[in-house]
Amino acid sequence: MAKKKEKPNYRNFKLIKRIPIQYRTVEERLHDYKDLHVNYTDEDIQLQASRCQDCGIPFCHGYGCPVSNLIPDWNDLVYKGKWEEACRLLHSTNNFPEVTGRVCPAPCEESCTLNVGLESVTIRDIEMTIVEKGFTNGWIISNPPLERTGKKVAIIGSGPAGLAAAQQLNRMGHSVTLFEKAPKAGGFLRYGIPDYKLEKWVLDRRIKQMTDEGVVIKTNTYVGKDITVDALHKDFDAIVLACGAREARDIQITGRELSGIYQAVDYLTQSNERVDGISFDKSALIDAKGKSVLVIGGGDTGADCVGTSRRQGATSVTQIEILPKPPEKRSEETPWPQYAKKLRTSTSHDEGCERKWCITTKKIEGTNGKIEKVLAAEVEWVKNEKGNWDMKEVAGSEFEIKADLIFLAMGFVHPVHDQLVKELGIDLDPRGNFKTNNFGYGATSVNKVFSVGDCARGASLVVWAIANGRAVADMVNEYLLK
């Protein structure tokens, strides 16, 4: 690697190669659920930061990043060793950079100008390093408001959207109570994303900062069941729904009733709880040890099932997807600075998995009520006269996949339409999400009730949940101070 230059000359990208933080070897990491990253030095990260060109129009900041992180500015500060300033700047746009620095798919890197013909700056690694240095050096402390407004806000759901809205509203001086039906706060950050991508002490550390600042978190409290909507209306000046989009897509085919078929999120939730020390009865346990696993759905949730199954000792893991295999490189369909539609291989895929595309599942078969195999077939996608894609099964392409366990990872349709939704009587959009006056966040059809995150925009990303959580906080603040 080239030696550190005395001054950034904005041509360092020509001298210094992109080198992302490396991962532990597959052999080593399959024995545990610990973070994948290996150690790196400050100098490595400073050199990588110096590759930033400080573009006149930074697409990473203004186009790629949903929270509009001030990327070129903190890259420059990092290069100059001004870590504390970089940490302050990073927190001015993002409440949880330690989370996005680990799990964000980094649309900023896709829209980095170096990505036109060269290789983008390792923005996500730099973000993670800044925030970790911030915690290590005690620069990230609780920041409670100097005065209270006397207004009370209830937030329902403690995923990244609810947490971001809570931290912002509390810092504005409002008294915030966060209601969460699960035993611990964090939403999918805690009960979906596996520890090897996001260890849970990372969440606990930030949640402690928030409770030190005055946010009240009531876990094991299912709003609509343990507490009524009427009670919330009576006790709070504003209500924010941040319930997530948790109605998982299912398949309705012969054999669906057999045992051994689980929703991916139920499997991942249990696995994360086991990593957290909770034990389960044999009858309730979902464990891939010694099993042939089939994951239906080629996305990130499916990939998390692959990595978790491999850690539990599955004998084989196959992941199938009904859509065609994406192109190896960015195609004309998604030109720079857009997020490229291309084949993405996650760390979980590197851990051992057969991936197949253009596959439909026709029937699940088994004996004594237990699954044994899946009857699948190849499909092709053909454009019709209207320009839309039609799916056609390829004649004679049927084949079998042996499976002792099947995980359904086909996405989420909308928030659960439970008692809370019925009691509130809010309008839904055509997709079944909570209808808001802005895309992804805003006021609902019910007075003083707002909504944010996946329950308002549909299943998305952590970084969008944070961005929209911050935006809804501004909107609620304006409403409360009117």
Ligand X SMILES: Cc1cc2nc3c(=O)[nH]c(=O)nc-3n(C[C@H](O)[C@H](O)[C@H](O)COP(=O)(O)OP(=O)(O)OC[C@H]3O[C@@H](n4cnc5c(N)ncnc54)[C@H](O)[C@@H]3O)c2cc1C
Q: Does residue 182 bind ligand X (CB under 6 A)?
A: yes
Tokens linked to 352 = 């051992």
Q: Is 453 in the site for ligand X (CB under 6 A)?
A: yes
Interface stretch with ligand X, choices 81-89, 220-228, 270-278, 437-445 (CB under 6 A): 220-228
Count other Cβ atoms within 10 Å, centred on residue 22.
Answer: 12
Map the footprint of ligand X across residues 257-276, applying CB under 6 A. 265, 268
Residue 155: which of 220, 217, 69, 230 has the closest Cα? 217
Alpha-helix runs per DSSP H in 300-344: 300-312
The phi and psi torsions of 362 (rounded to 5 degrees) equal -100, -35
Beta carbon of residue 304, minimum distance to ligand X (angstroms, whole number): 5
Q: Does 465 bind ligand X (CB under 6 A)?
A: yes
Considering the complex, state which of residue 186 and residue 255 has its C-beta at the smaller distance from ligand X: 186
> Among residues 243, 288, 294, 475, which is the contact residue for ligand X, using CB under 6 A?
243
Give dist(CA 69, CA 38) in Å, integer: 25
Q: How far is the CB of 267 from ligand X (least distance, A)?
A: 9
Question: Do 174 and 480 touch, CB atoms closer than 8 A?
Answer: yes
Residue 425 three-state SS: coil
104 scored as a contact of ligand X (CB under 6 A)? yes
The whole-angstrom separation of Cα 113 and Cα 92 is 23
CB of 242 to ligand X, least distance (A): 5
Describe the strand order of the beta sheet including 216-218 as a list of residue ranges. 216-218, 175-179, 152-156, 238-241, 449-452, 441-443
Stretch that binds ligand X, among 19-27, 86-94, 424-432, 452-460 (CB under 6 A): 452-460
Q: Are 360 and 376 in contact (CB under 8 A)?
A: yes
Q: Helix or strand or coil: residue 395?
A: coil
Output 33 or 79, the one with its CB closest to ligand X: 33
Query: Looking at 151-281, which runs of residues are DSSP E strands?
Result: 152-156, 175-179, 216-218, 238-241, 247-248, 261-263
Least separation in angstroms between residue 161's CB and ligand X is 3
Phi, psi of 125 (to 5 degrees): -60, -40
| Least CB distance to ligand X at residue 99 (A) | 8
Among 124, 181, 200, 470, binds ligand X (CB under 6 A): 181
CA proximity to 67, closest of 44, 88, 90: 90
Among 139, 222, 262, 336, binds ligand X (CB under 6 A): 222
- Residue 461 found at the interface with ligand X (CB under 6 A): yes
Cα angle, residue 274 at apex, residues 268 and 276 outer, rounded to 5°: 105
3-class DSSP assignment, residue 380: strand
- Residues numbered 109 to 168 that lie near ligand X (CB under 6 A) are 156-162
The single residue among 110, 127, 304, 351 that binds ligand X, judged by CB under 6 A, is 304
Among 64, 224, 440, 458, binds ligand X (CB under 6 A): 224
Of 16 and 421, the one with the shorter C-beta distance to ligand X is 421
**For ligand X, which residue of 300, 321, 351, 404 counts as binding (CB under 6 A)?**
300
| 301 counts as binding ligand X under rule CB under 6 A | yes
Q: Which residues bind ligand X (CB under 6 A)?
A: 103-104, 156-162, 179-182, 187-189, 192-193, 197, 222-224, 242-244, 246, 265, 268, 300-301, 304, 420, 453-454, 459-463, 465
